[in-house]
């Protein structure tokens, strides 16, 4: 099946195939480790995870790089304020990030380069750009990229050179640096300033300082994946100037087209507003766990909208994710309990039709909304067929295998075997049932609430009450 993705640069869907005919080399912009990653970050990381999983689902090999930005204004400021080394400041956030990735079932990338480990490579790129006439050193010791020497600048963001009214660095502090030849030029090497940088700097042929943020990604991408890569992903906020600057640096340095296909995930909003600490609507993954939601529920919500549409986060949406996962879990439990029975043509046809729809949706620019629609159409149809006794044990197992195959992409379906509740909760359930029989409803409600706090709900079945993970 052909696989199509929307290319930000060409503004159209294009069939994607590996440049070398063997594997997709993908660069994904990772976290800046000055704080815990927020749910907007994870919206992008989960989209990139779905992309990776979908490519593998269709039989492609993938080599992915996700950078770790440990050098920038925020990480340095945090370390200086605390009076500790840069590594001591960033390491706890780095470890937390990997814990969060694991909890959200995001597949590991093949490479997680940290900017601090690639300083020599960044210096080498700067030297090459200066030698070729694309960069210049100023009297202050900083080095800038001259965008007027790269006529193709703006082709990703579709901006024209004469429309650039401010610098292309994305660093507002540089607006006051009057030694640049052009206000739109962006920094490759920022000269050391003891008042600003404390004792954090690196030596270079241009003098002490640190690399520009845009250069960090360019140097690591080229070093690990080569001068031309298949796919570059990131949030829409990185499109300009970050990704535009990456193109300029890489193509002027290597002489090759840097990226064949650009993908960008749209913003996450909270109650239709931009997420902001000042508005009190800023959430990390850990904040939501403290509120009683699970990683599985957050993952479902964050993947449930197409990556090129804005996702509006609400707690009602999280509750909806919980309900959706429960519907799937109920079907899975029901399928596992089917024994014997006769084969029905309707079941085989439902499975075949839904599988075709699911795969076609993924191959059409990761159309997750249509893929999930195919999933819930199948849930509804299988429940209806089970009600009519038209699913055999063999067909139930086939259906479970199909869901398992789909979950290689979704990574969120509740397919695990039912987890037995702890013995102490089983005891509380027995006490609660006894209290109900004795019409001690106050005690019954207390026991029910205690069980809920422990992460379980009480479900009434024809065979009596049972505990179920919420």
Residues 47-59 have pLDDT tens digits of: 999 999 999 999 9
Q: How confident is the model at residue 278 (pLDDT cuts 50, 70, 90)?
A: confident
Say what the pLDDT of residue 439 is: 87
Mean pLDDT across 110-123? 98
pLDDT tens digits, 302-336 = 999 999 999 999 999 999 999 999 999 999 999 99
148 within 8 A of 166, measured Cβ to Cβ: no
Q: What is the mean pLDDT of the chain?
A: 92
Closest CA to 225 of 376, 62, 362, 82: 62
363-416 pLDDT tens trace: 999 999 999 999 999 999 999 999 999 999 999 999 999 999 999 999 999 997
Res 159: pLDDT: 87
Give the fold, CATH level 3, of 273-410: Isoleucyl-tRNA Synthetase; Domain 1 (1.10.730)
pLDDT at 174: 46
CATH pick for 4-265 out of 2.40.30.170, 3.40.605.10, 3.30.70.890, 3.40.50.620: 3.40.50.620
What is the rounded CA–CA span in Å between residue 288 and residue 266?
21
Rg of the chain over Cα atoms, rounded to whole angstroms, equals: 26
**What pTM does this model have?**
0.88
Copy the structure tokens of residue 270.
């909270």
Residues 6+ apart with CB under 8 A from 378: 350, 351, 354, 399
Q: What is the pLDDT of residue 160?
A: 80
pLDDT-based confidence at residue 118 (cuts at 50, 70, 90): very high
Alpha carbons 270 and 288: distance in angstroms, whole number = 13
- 24 CB-near residues (< 8 Å, 6+ apart): 16, 18, 55, 60, 61, 62, 63, 230, 231
């Amino acid at each position: 099946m052909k696989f199509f993705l929307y290319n930000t640069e060409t503004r159209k869907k294009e069939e994607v195939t590996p440049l070398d005919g063997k594997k997709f080399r993908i660069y994904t912009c990772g976290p800046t480790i000055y704080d815990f990653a927020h749910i907007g970050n994870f919206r992008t990381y989960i989209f990139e995870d779905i992309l990776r999983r979908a490519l593998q689902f269709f039989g492609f090999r993938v080599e992915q790089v996700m950078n770790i930005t440990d050098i920038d204004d925020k990480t340095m400021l945090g370390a200086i304020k605390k009076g500790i080394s840069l590594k001591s400041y960033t390491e706890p956030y780095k470890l937390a990030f990997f814990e969060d990735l694991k909890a959200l079932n995001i597949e590991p990338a093949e490479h997680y380069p940290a900017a601090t480990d690639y300083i020599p490579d960044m210096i080498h790129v700067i030297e090459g750009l200066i030698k070729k006439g694309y960069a210049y050193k100023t009297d202050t010791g900083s080095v800038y990229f001259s965008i007027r020497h790269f006529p193709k600048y703006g082709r990703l963001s579709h901006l024209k050179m004469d429309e650039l009214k401010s610098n292309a660095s994305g660093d507002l502090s540089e607006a006051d640096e009057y030694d640049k030849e052009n206000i739109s030029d962006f920094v490759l090497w920022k000269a050391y300033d003891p008042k600003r940088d404390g004792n954090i700097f690196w030596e270079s042929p241009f003098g002490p300082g640190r690399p520009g943020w845009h250069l960090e990604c360019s140097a690591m991408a080229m070093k690990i994946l080569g001068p031309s890569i298949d796919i570059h992903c990131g949030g829409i906020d990185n499109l300009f100037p970050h990704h535009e600057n990456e193109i300029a640096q890489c193509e002027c340095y290597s002489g090759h087209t840097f990226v064949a296909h650009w993908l960008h995930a749209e913003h996450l909003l909270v109650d239709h507003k931009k997420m902001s600490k000042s508005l009190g609507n800023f959430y990390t993954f850990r904040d939501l766990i403290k509120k009683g939601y699970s990683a599985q529920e957050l993952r479902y919500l964050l993947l449930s909208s197409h990556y090129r549409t804005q996702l509006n986060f609400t707690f009602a949406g999280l509750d909806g994710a919980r309900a959706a996962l429960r519907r799937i879990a109920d079907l899975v439990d029901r399928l596992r309990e089917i024994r014997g029975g006769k084969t029905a043509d309707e079941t085989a046809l439902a499975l075949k039709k839904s599988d075709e729809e699911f795969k076609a949706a993924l191959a059409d620019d990761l159309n997750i909304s249509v893929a999930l629609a195919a999933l819930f159409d199948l849930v509804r149809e299988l429940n209806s067929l089970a009600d009519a006794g038209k699913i055999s044990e063999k067909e139930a197992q086939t259906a479970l295998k199909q869901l398992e195959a789909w979950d290689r992409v979704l990574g969120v379906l509740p397919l695990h075997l039912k987890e037995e509740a702890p013995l102490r909760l089983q005891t509380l359930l027995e006490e609660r049932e006894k209290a109900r029989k004795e019409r001690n409803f106050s005690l019954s409600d207390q026991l029910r609430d205690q069980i809920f706090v422990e992460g379980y709900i009480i479900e009434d079945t024809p065979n009596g009450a049972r505990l179920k993970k919420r």
